Amino acid sequence: MGQKLGQHFLQNKEAIEKIVGLVEPRRGELIVEIGPGEGALTIPLAVVCKNSEARLIAIEKDRRLAGKIDFAEVIVGDAIKDLAEIVENYQLPATGYKLVGNIPYYITGKLLRTIEGLRPRPVKTILMVQKEVAERVSAIAPKMNLLSSAVQVWAEAEIIFTLGAKDFLPPPKVDSAVIVLTPKKNIPANLKNYYALIKRIFASPRKTLVNNLLANSALRREEVEKVLEKAGIEVGARGQNLSLDQILALEKLLY
């Protein structure tokens, strides 16, 4: 069943210890593990949480696997659908909560959007994801992209370490990476407008920024070029060349 749900179970004990170390549970804190699988990460997490007087909850979609975990509180559910409700219904401590998980890689994009929408957001998120996706999430100019700009507007993203296929069972066809997301205290943008803008910026990566902004727009070329000049962006630039600050400047100038 785990394979049907896209799960690849982490076998590398050193990597597991590193992830547990990244969680750093504190007294009274809530730790939510997404997709505990067979419990390779959950078992050491449960020990550390007990020692630090933190609370551990695991969300597992596979009922068969969930039934095997008797050393932590388990919720049978779908993190994409149920995470917001769980956060809303649990009495969160003043220290907040953290998310951690070796997730099925195909849900990464949806899960990141889910986390962005959580209120409050987790004070720290540690995820095992496909290495290529981790690199896209943490990318900066000249490799800026839709995913990096969508995540970095609300969180700092950092790749901590990478793993090969041999570290998992069954082995995936791709390399993996552990990425840490730390939410920003203040988001200097209207997110609705910002997300609409980055979809325009990265609609056709090979086109110049000017041409992407002109598409389906009432703006004239000279108006767009003037906006770019105000934002300190070269007229011939492409979306990948932009810094986050430049995208934020465009959001303020265009909306």
**Which amino acid makes up residue 22?**
L
Query: How far, in Å, are 22, 41, 56 from residue 71 at the CA level?
Result: 21, 12, 10
The answer to whether the beta carbons of residues 56 and 45 sit under 8 Å apart is yes
Q: Which residues contact 194 (CB under 8 A, 6 or more apart)?
A: 153, 247, 248, 251
35 labeled binding residue = yes
The answer to whether the beta carbons of residues 177 and 148 sit under 8 Å apart is no
10 labeled binding residue = yes
The answer to whether the beta carbons of residues 227 and 250 sit under 8 Å apart is yes
**Which amino acid makes up residue 136?**
R
- Vertex 171: Cα angle to 132 and 167 (nearest 5): 80
Query: How far, in Å, are 148, 189, 207 from residue 195 at the CA level?
Result: 12, 10, 19
Q: Which of 205, 214, 215 is nearest to 237 (CA)?
A: 205
H or E segment at 58? Answer: strand 55-60
Q: Which residues are annotated as a binding site?
A: 8, 10, 35, 60, 102
Q: Which residues are annotated as a binding site for S-adenosyl-L-methionine?
A: 8, 10, 35, 60, 102
